[in-house]
Chain A
């Protein structure tokens, strides 16, 4: 009798302790997750409210901002056409993906199809190190090696600063992003698929080209899109080599600007609250918006992948 009572009491206390411990755990983790949500809402809210001031308070027309090609914020009749920068961002990141995409997919194929095992042991650390090199270091190398090199290639007729230099620097920076996603996708491919193809007498290249790549297309595109997204948001490395002139990019050798490079160069030189400053926030909002677009594309690709 006594014994069972004591045992019950013990059990009760045990439950209470359990409950308390679990409560602590729950509160702690819930608060942390709440912080994540608060942060993201705050970022979107603050950047959007500041970025929209340009249009609602300063009276800059959104049409001019998005499609105007004339950028002259300090002139007496100021013009705020940001199309050159929007286009610049797109051009350099797409070009970077054009260079890095095939390279990365080949690297991934090398790791999984050509030299499985050993290839991964060699390339994996290389890719990780490439992704670990800070972006300013890429910018610095671009500035001291790539820019003079491009200038020399053209016989000194161009300065070397420009869209081409920016795209090349970015392509090396997004190589690791695309490669690791492509490699993961290749590794997840069921063995049977390859074997079936080989059994039919297909060569390795036929297997890759006809079976593997089409099957994995959505995943590979996901990698490429994420690479573009990274290139789109990269700031300092591009700013150091692109030349920063406010013009629509029209050749690989002419200097242009991206959204990020204009923000970097002018944010602290303009005074808070001025239209010259607010319009930079509109560009930041544009960057945010594009982040969402890229994520939506990636989600759509993933959905296709499941089917």
Chain B
């Protein structure tokens, strides 16, 4: 085989694999949406799930996923922002910074199930939070924190140095420069990154099995007092999310239409992730335009 044939063959193989990957994604999305969308209707999205009978919905699970996402982000964003700003603006190139970088790397590589088990040990049992939204939110925040730190650091580092120097020339304090000059410029990529991170939180299940629990108490959607046991926004109640629900109906549940319910729930989950993806792009672009009043470059 001469060099030319080898080249053609190799090119063919590479193209074939690339096409295969596109086909895999196409197949996956097609399967999920075609199999699942026929089960999605208003009733499915809003009614509570069934334990034994067919025809249950995913209403509480959908709400739990969204509410848990909000709780998680309330914890993650400020902490991640602070950590990222430190890494980008305060950290000097020394051993300590190297160590912190290692910590972020290790934390981001921990399997989510280990983070969930840690949550079970510390928040659920030791602190006595029980299986609750709060325990779940903290576990997810830990899981998501390194990503948030990285997103923030990259966003801040990407800000042109001239902007910072302009601030220094104006005699502003370092913190003032960070909050009023760098932050606005970094904001579009921060928002894009945060929404993408949110998508990851939305689909996470392993960390939640042992923290927010696998059950949802009957909810009273007219009661919005967070201290009431049946209130949807009580952070101390247990909450099964959409992703956990898919796992549960496939491995433990007793409903006869488990496959249909999980197909529908998977479709909802994937659609939400798609929405997060598109929203991230769109919102980042939108904010960028608002702030700079210019066209986006990248």
Contacts and interface: CB of A to CB of B under 8 A. Distances in A.
Instruction: Report if A and B touch in the complex (beta carbons < 8 A).
Output: yes
Interface of A: 14, 17-19, 21-22, 24-26, 28-33, 35-37, 39-40, 42-43, 46-47, 50, 102-103, 106-107, 109-111, 113-114, 119, 122-123, 126-130, 132-137, 139-141, 143-145, 172, 175, 179, 202-206, 208-209, 226, 229, 232-236, 239-240, 260, 263-264, 267-268, 272, 281, 284, 287-288, 291-292, 294-295
A128 B277 contact: yes
Given A133-B270, A295-B106, A42 B32 contact: no
B156 to A, nearest CB: 11
Interface of B: 3-4, 6-7, 9-11, 13-15, 17-18, 20-22, 24-25, 28-29, 31-32, 35, 78-83, 85-87, 89-90, 100, 102-107, 109-115, 117-118, 120-122, 125, 142, 145-146, 149, 171-176, 178-179, 196, 199-200, 202-206, 209-210, 243-244, 246-247, 250-251, 259, 262-263, 266, 269-270, 273-274, 276-277
Cβ-closest 9 pairs across A and B: A233-B111, A134-B203, A32-B82, A25-B175, A106-B17, A110-B18, A203-B7, A29-B86, A18-B173
Given A32-B86, A235-B111, A235-B113, 19 more contacts: A33-B82, A47-B118, A50-B121, A110-B18, A132-B199, A132-B274, A133-B203, A135-B203, A136-B243, A136-B246, A136-B269, A205-B7, A226-B109, A233-B112, A260-B113, A264-B209, A281-B117, A287-B111, A288-B110
A239 B243 CA distance: 14
Contact of B15 (A18, A114, A240, A267): A114
B27 to A, nearest CB: 9
A26 B174 CA distance: 10
A291 B62 CA distance: 32
A135 B205 contact: yes
24 contacts: A19-B173, A21-B173, A25-B85, A35-B79, A36-B79, A36-B103, A36-B146, A103-B17, A119-B18, A129-B274, A130-B25, A136-B266, A204-B7, A204-B11, A208-B10, A240-B251, A260-B111, A260-B206, A264-B113, A268-B209, A281-B117, A284-B113, A284-B114, A287-B111
Contacts, number: 254
Given A31-B82, A144-B259, A203-B7, A236 B117 contact: no
